[in-house]
Amino acid sequence: MDARLDDKTSSIVTRKSDGGSPTQPRKRQGDESKKVAGTLQSIDETKFAAVFIIDKIRYLFTARLNKATDKPFRVSSATLTFRNLQGLLRSTTFQGTLGPSTMEFAFDSGPTIAGNLDEKLTEGKSVVGTGKWTWS
């Protein structure tokens, strides 16, 4: 069986050595999305922090929003979705929605954080922001 990298899909495609048809593409290691539970909480009207434990390492994301919220907010069960840890190792920008009952942020580096707010905000809004990942 021969294998090659498909440039269009970045997947490994195998072909039977006898020249037969290709088999199903195999995903490259690290292509699968991973999901981790954590928490997210406002620090003040424009700042928040999110904490996730990945392989016994605490990842902390602290950020600033471009718009103030009308009251403090918290997500006790936030979900971080990511493909690899490289997206969690630097400063990044993000955009998304906050409120009235859910939140979802998509990072330019790839990951997303989403969840249900513990208490509703008065209104929902589109937000952008900047933040930094640290770990310990």
pLDDT in tens, 42-90: 999 999 999 999 999 999 999 999 999 999 999 999 999 999 998 898 8
10, pLDDT greater than 70: no
CB 104 within 8 A of CB 77: no
Q: Which of 79, 40, 45, 83 is nearest to 62 (CA)?
A: 40
Do 57 and 73 form a contact (C-beta atoms < 8 A)?
Answer: no
Q: 11, exposed or middle or buried, with CB in 10 Å at 0-12, 13-18, 19+?
A: middle
Which tokens go with 55?
A: 């392989």
CA distance 41 to 21: 52
User: Residue 13: which pLDDT band, with cuts at 50, 70 and 90?
Assistant: very low
Which structural domains are found in the chain, ordered by start? 1-29 (no CATH), 34-135 (2.40.128)
